[in-house]
Chains A and B, each alone.
Chain A
Amino acid sequence: MNDKDILMDALKFHGHKCWASVVGVRAGLAALRTLGVPRSGGTQLFAVVETGEEHGGMCFGDGVQYGTGCTFGKGNLSKKPLGKLAVTLIEKDSNCAVRVSYKPTLRKQIAESAFMQKRAAGIMADEIPEEEQMELVNLVWGALEDDVITIGEVFEYDGNWLPEVMGFQPCGVCGEMTALAYLRVVGTKQMCIPCSGYER
């Protein structure tokens, strides 16, 4: 699959077209290339993104997810909420890692685009006309890599990787299946967290 196809599939997954998802895809693909590793079909790679909550540009995380194959579901994607558009990609076997961050060269052009003016005025991204969405996507996708991201040096990550705990058991109270590590004990019964009354 070529990179533009990956981008378009990523945007479809994301649900709307925006500049930050494009930066995320570019950052993710650049990180894979720098480490010399393929997209993570399983959990061979781990990504730490630095976006936070409730701010512009968070969509970066979906670009990284799609680009690197480090996904929310597989659990090899985490947030270190610093309000920054940056990702550290780690190959778990070797702990080889690279950090790729957004470079604001196009900042003014992005901010002045019709799309961003409307977003800042509180309009949902998917309510903005398609051509205005694509105008911004093409600006960020077509720019030189050096104008969009900064690729750091490869370094050794201090990784502490936990193994999976397999298996389930029905909760002794509600009967719903619960992963073994999440069962709690109350008296003689084993139960899920909500039934146990414990917070976690």
Chain B
Amino acid sequence: MDTNNELYKAGLLLHGHKCPAMPMGLRAGLAALEKLGVERAKDGQLVALIEIGQDHCATCYADGIQMATGCTFGKGNIQKLGYGKFALTLIGRKSGRSVRVVTRPETIQKNKESEFIGFRMKGVPASQIDPKLVEPLVDYILASEGDALFQIGEVTETKLPAPRPHDFNALICESCGEVVVESYARIKNGKINCQPCAERI
């Protein structure tokens, strides 16, 4: 794979800047799909559990996962476990078949030695670093074999709790007039309210 790859280009559009972590997530997501022998989730067919946390380097990894697997923030089938680790467990919702793909320390070490990370360590945001410094890192991630970048686990079974049926009932808050999902609405003085209005009045 190289930077002319359609999925990489789509990932870049979503993500907004060039960095090595987004393509790393892209490759991890693709490796997991391949191992399970499944397609990108158009809806909620797959669930992605990712081990990154908040406010640490290379969380951009998650945008690559979103683009590759179709497990997205909006659809609600992706979740951060908050371990500060670059690992993905992809699970088939119906089958329960799952695989964990973890980035090899050498892959991360390789980035660490680059001039790009030198700037990042000084606190310069990725979007403000000369793209030329990051391109070799991106090329490396895209061109390497999946097994070289990641340790790809065996397919195992992961039992997810049965999904709650989606609530399609929407109400109008009698205070602010905005739409609120029924299960999130509250009753205050006998009237239907959204939570902020219920707390305010």
Residues of chain A at the chain B interface (Cβ within 8 Å): 9, 12-16, 20-21, 24, 39-44, 51-66, 69, 71-75, 77, 81-86, 101-102, 104, 107, 116, 119-120, 122, 124-126, 150, 162-168, 170, 175-183, 192-194, 200
Contact = CB atoms under 8 A, between A and B. Distances in A.
A64 to B, nearest CB: 8
Given A41-B17, A164-B55, A167-B57, 13 more contacts: A13-B66, A16-B42, A52-B184, A71-B14, A72-B72, A73-B15, A84-B184, A102-B178, A176-B105, A177-B105, A178-B84, A179-B53, A192-B83
Given A13-B10, A75-B59, A61 B73 contact: yes
B195 A82 contact: yes
Interface in B80-121: 82-87, 102-103, 105, 108, 112, 120-121
Contacts of A194: 83
Contacts of A15: 40-43, 70, 72, 75
Chain B interface residue number, banded: 35 or more
Contact of B194 (A65, A84, A200): A84
A39 B111 CA distance: 27
Given A24-B74, A73-B22, A84-B194, A182 B170 contact: no
A181 B84 contact: yes
Interface stretch (B30-38, B123-131, B134-142): B123-131
19 contacts: A14-B75, A15-B41, A16-B42, A52-B184, A56-B167, A58-B75, A63-B74, A73-B59, A75-B59, A82-B194, A82-B195, A102-B178, A107-B170, A125-B42, A168-B112, A177-B85, A179-B56, A180-B56, A182-B83
B184 A83 contact: yes
Interface in B162-188: 163-168, 170, 172, 178-185
B188 to A, nearest CB: 14
Given A74-B59, A82-B194, A13 B72 contact: yes
Interface of B: 10, 13-17, 21-22, 25, 40-45, 52-57, 59-67, 70, 72-76, 78, 82-87, 102-103, 105, 108, 112, 120-121, 123, 125-128, 163-168, 170, 172, 178-185, 194-196
Pick the most buried of A13, A60, A86: most chain B CB atoms within 10 A of its CB: A13
B10 A182 contact: no
A164 B84 contact: no
B85 A178 contact: yes
Contacts, number: 224
Contact of A81 (B15, B45, B184): B184
B56 A83 contact: no
Given A73-B59, A74-B16, A182-B53, A58 B76 contact: yes
Nearest to B83: A193
Contacts of A20: 74
Contacts of A181: 53, 55-56, 84
B56 A182 contact: yes
B67 A62 contact: no
